[in-house]
Structure 1
Amino acid sequence: MITELGDGVWQIPCGAGPSRWTRVNAYLVDDDGDLTLVDTGTPRDGGRIRAAIRETGHEVADLERILVTHYDVDHVGGLASLLESSGATCYVGAGDAGFLMGREKPPAFHHKGLFQRLLGPVTTQPNADPELVADEAEIGSFTAYHTPGHTPGHTAYVSEVRNVAFVGDLVMENHGELSPSPWALSYDTEAVTESIHELAEREPAVEILAMGHGTPFVRAGAVRLAELGERIEE
């Protein structure tokens, strides 16, 4: 069941299972008439996302753009099929684009890279190249912020107009508390910490903080992220 987090901003629960890391969020935004999807769940979530889009009164063909926070199977699993059926434009951080398109393999000598490499065969590659997102690039009402650490090309998308920050797996929520992406699921936890501090300093004071795993905050989201930054060492 979708949840409206704010005016024109919906949470789409995806994934399955008992763990917060096996349940994942995609998000839909009516960005002043430009329908925007943020992340696409697992390879099994395409139908769920299509149904959610219809539930909001839209059609998949209405999708203008898909913003990818990072390359992981639970965030890009439905991407290829949704791009094919919608004709939308995909945006992704340059550091993850090679993995997404199959032109680079994640490093087998790294614990996170090995995990991505093992799950690569279940992820269908898009037919068209994505748009590479520069730091502070403007996409509709969104500003993109490079937030590496969980993956090399991890990117957050913040819309002051829609009062929301989509932060992917930079952080997760558990029982009302935020925590950084953990070592087991990150390329570089020091970079994660640095990215949290930098995003907290740079992003506008939006209310909604929407993460990949956990329950989004609908009030004081930017404040919550800044408080996490104060609790962790740089």
Structure 2
Amino acid sequence: MKIIDLPIEFAYNGQKNIIYPSLIILNNELTLVDTGYTNFITLIENEILKHGYEMKQLKHIIITHYDDDHIGSLYDFKNKYPWINIIASETESKYISGEMKAERLVQAEDMLGKLPNEAIEFGNRFIQQLKNLKHVPVDTKVNDGDMILENQCRVIATPGHTSGHISLYFPSLQSVITGDAAVNENQELVIANPHYCLNIKKAEQSLRKIKNLKADAYYCYHGGTLTL
């Protein structure tokens, strides 16, 4: 088993950005963790192919949480590769499937009236992006402590950024895929976008929780891998 970063470069608001979805390889099967923004499927496919794998090997997609940069292309993946098993936390699955209105959309709508005039256009655009996301049923719903991927991966509940956020711990590799529970900033694990956290106190607790695992490698969606 191994984990690799899939660096995806793109422009956002006129600036160059990179996100790092993770690819887990286990017994010749692939698991993708998070799917980038809408229309990122080709970018991610190209990165997977570049590593010498084939898309028919993709068996699972794990979603760490409901944010448009993490689930944007989930519908496209499921539509193109219908055999894929989608895994998410019990809480986040309600937003991904459309069973409940997403927390992030509720937050964005609540904040809109408090934004300065120069930010209102961006706020409206962000809300529309969230509303345009297509819902997808979740095949496997997980909770804190569940073992998945042939018992090689432990689900770690890391709420704060969103209430049902999960990270993934791989004991045999001494590695953690953090989602947005932590970002790699100047070779240090810190909270991702504290002003967007739905519960900053829980986000701080979750950051301590994954740091306390004392892993050798932390695969961060923002900032890439931190090796200790």
Q: TM-score, normalised by structure 2?
A: 0.81
Q: 1:27 aligns with which of 18, 22, 26?
A: 22
Question: How much has 1:135 moved relative to structure 2?
Answer: 0.7
User: 5+ unaligned residues in a row in structure 1: which ranges?
Assistant: 1-6, 221-234
Q: Which amino acid aligns with 1:88?
A: I
State yes or no: 1:102 paired with 2:111.
no
Segment drifting more, 162-171 vs 135-144:
162-171
Residue in structure 2 matched with residue 132 of structure 1 by the alignment: 141
Question: How much has 1:117 moved relative to structure 2?
Answer: 5.0
State yes or no: 1:67 paired with 2:67.
no
Question: How much has 1:131 moved relative to structure 2?
Answer: 1.2
State yes or no: 1:89 paired with 2:85.
yes
Q: 1:22 to 1:103 in 2, by over 3 A?
A: farther
Segment drifting more, 110-119 vs 143-152:
110-119
Give CA deviations for 1:169-221 in whole Å, capped at 9, x if unaligned: 111122323321233221010010111222333x3x4322011111311x22x
Q: Which amino acid aligns with 1:207?
A: D
In structure 2, distance between residues paired with 1:196 and 1:60: 33
Q: 1:162 to 1:83 in 2, by over 3 A?
A: farther
Output the aligned Cα RMSD: 2.5
Matches within 5 A, 1:213-228: 213-217=222-226, 219-220=227-228
Residue in structure 1 matched with residue 215 of structure 2 by the alignment: 206
Question: How much has 1:81 moved relative to structure 2?
Answer: 1.5
Question: How much has 1:109 moved relative to structure 2?
Answer: 5.5
Higher-Rg structure is 2
Residue in structure 1 matched with residue 195 of structure 2 by the alignment: 184
In structure 1, distance between residues paired with 2:16 and 2:29: 30
Tell me if structure 2 keeps the 8 A contact 1:171–1:180. Answer: yes
Residue in structure 1 matched with residue 171 of structure 2 by the alignment: 160
In structure 1, distance between residues paired with 2:179 and 2:162: 11
Tell me if structure 2 keeps the 8 A contact 1:12–1:27. Answer: yes
Q: 1:10 aligns with which of 4, 19, 25?
A: 4
Residue in structure 2 matched with residue 45 of structure 1 by the alignment: 40
Q: 1:124 to 1:39 in 2, by over 3 A?
A: same
Tell me if structure 2 keeps the 8 A contact 1:15–1:41. Answer: no
Residue in structure 2 matched with residue 121 of structure 1 by the alignment: 131
Give CA deviations for 1:61-110 in whole Å, capped at 9, x if unaligned: 21111111111010111111212333111111122111111121135653
Q: Which amino acid aligns with 1:9?
A: I
User: 5+ unaligned residues in a row in structure 2: which ranges?
Assistant: 112-122
In structure 2, distance between residues paired with 1:197 and 1:189: 12
